[in-house]
Amino acid sequence: DQQVKQNSPSLSVQEGRISILNCDYTNSMFDYFLWYKKYPAEGPTFLISISSIKDKNEDGRFTVFLNKSAKHLSLHIVPSQPGDSAVYFCAASADSGGSNHKLTFGKGTLLTVNP
């Protein structure tokens, strides 16, 4: 049972336009969400996170939106740049007893930004 789902395996966007990466989750105990960027043969790089008490968090070109009622979050990248081309992973954790604060990852979305 996949608790964090990224239903789009890939996304292609033109340079300068907005990239929107989506993520859905099923576990209502999740209360902290993160986005990571990963290049091949490298470890993931932390991008941005959001706590469940917020619905939006912004950091430069990256904005994460959280819709708790829909159990959905999205990452917006504006403007998109060719260097943003990578696999983006959505992750979630639950601050509940026994969870050990593990991150549950989605399967990732490959973003390609075309010049």
Partner 1 sequence: GAVVSQHPSWVICKSGTSVKIECRSLDFQATTMFWYRQFPKQSLMLMATSNEGSKATYEQGVEKDKFLINHASLTLSTLTVTSAHPEDSSFYICSASLRRVSDTQYFGPGTRLTVL
Q: How far apart (Å, rounded) are the C-alpha atoms in residues 55 and 4?
A: 18
Separation of alpha carbons 66 and 57, rounded Å: 9
Count of residues touching partner 1 (by CB under 8 A): 21
Residue from 39, 59, 41 nearest 49 by CA: 59
**30, 16 contact by CB (below 8 A):** no
Site string for partner 1, 76-115 (x = CB under 8 A): -------------x---x-x----xxxx-xxxx-------
Q: Which of 44, 75, 80, 113 binds partner 1 (CB under 8 A)?
A: 44
| Binding test (CB under 8 A) with partner 1, winner from 1, 43, 69, 115 | 43
The Cα 37–Cα 47 span in angstroms is 7
Does 60 participate in binding partner 1 (rule CB under 8 A)? no
By the criterion CB under 8 A, which residues form the site for partner 1? 32, 34, 36, 41-46, 49, 89, 93, 95, 100-103, 105-108
